[in-house]
Structures are given as structure tokens and as C-alpha cells.
Amino acid sequence: MSQRITVAIILLCTFALLVACGGNTTPAAPGDSATQLAQTAEAILTATAAPKVTPTATVPPIVPPTQTPDVPPPPAPTAQPAPCTNDSKFVEDITVPDGTHFAPGTPFDKTWRIQNTGTCTWDTTYQYRLINDVGMAGQNFNLPQTVAPNATIDITVKFVSPMTAGKYRSQWRIFAPDGSPFGQRPYVEIVVP
């Protein structure tokens, strides 16, 4: 119970006790005591009653919507092709079979047939390079044409046989534009008597 109601009950009881014990010198009519008691109680309860509160609805403030700029969706990822691989295979000697004899200081052309066994197309930025030389004066050079996967190319290098007798071998390889070598290593092997 609230503190006000408790005080009102105590005052009401005290007043009822006074009336019953004869606190009034003039005799009261039997209905008057009850009426006075009821009126006193009503006055006390009215004075101590909590003010009546009427609930009000809380209305949230109106906030204007924020403008979101039209942002296009990110582009769908495009499928990137898998990187190609470089590889080559020696197919055959077209000229100067292994062990061919040349007199000292003789110029000759060696031609190899090479197959592109990778998935990259070779273009003119690919090089045919000497990787082991024994003094036959062959020079590095760029491929003269484009070579698709599985296609072949005949590669010719100009040489001059050494001036001293002996067996000589010059080895070559294809290099990608980034400088990395790949594939088999064709060679020319001659004999100077």
C-alpha cells in the first residue's frame, strides 16, 4: 500500500475512536456519526489521492529519409582464362645429321624441326638461344613467325666449323618473352677431321 493510504487509514481510525469514545459533548444522532465518518474518510482520501494521470501516446519525431546515391552494382567477375604453358619438342633434323664431317672453317646451315607442345602461341618475341657453344659462331635470334600450339616450325642457324680437328656440339633452346627457357634442347653435332 502507498504511504498516503496508510496515513488516511490511521487518521480515519483515530477519528472513529474519538467519536465512539464520546469526544463530542453533544449527543449525535445515530446516523450522524456514520455520515461524519464517511465524509471525513472521503475528504482524507481525496486529499491524499494521487493525481490522475492520463497517458499520452508518444509520437516519434519524423525523420526524413536520407538520400542514398544510386550506386551501380559491382560488375560480375569475368572468367579469366587459365594461363598458358610453354613447351617444345624436337621433331627431327632437317639438315646436317649428327656426326656430319666438315673441313675446318666451313660455313653451314643447321635446320631443326621443332613442335610447339605447350598451350601458348609463340610469336616473334620468343627467342632461339645458344645455351652451350663450342666455337661454331651461331647467334641468338627471335623466331621469324608465329607458331600455334601443336604446330611446327623449321629453325635454321648459320654456323662455321672450328679450325681444329675434333667432335663439336652446340646446344640450343627456346626462351619465352619473360626470359624463361622451356622445352627440349636441340643440338648440332659435327666432326672436323
Do 178 and 128 belong together in one domain?
A: yes
Q: From first to last of the 193 residues of the chain, give the pLDDT tens digit.
A: 566 666 666 666 665 555 555 555 455 455 565 566 566 656 655 655 555 555 565 666 676 666 666 767 777 777 777 899 999 999 999 999 999 999 999 999 999 999 999 999 999 999 999 998 777 878 899 999 999 999 999 999 999 999 999 999 999 999 999 999 999 999 999 999 9
Do 13 and 105 belong together in one domain?
A: no
- How far apart, in whole angstroms, are the C-alpha atoms of residue 30 and residue 23? 15
Which CATH number goes with the domain that contains 179? Answer: 2.60.40.10
CA distances from 128 to 57, 84, 123, 124, 179 (A): 89, 19, 12, 10, 11
Domain that holds residue 106: 88-192
Overall domain count for the chain: 2
Do 103 and 43 belong together in one domain?
A: no
E runs forming strands in 52-186: 88-93, 100-101, 107-116, 127-132, 141-142, 152-160, 166-175, 181-182
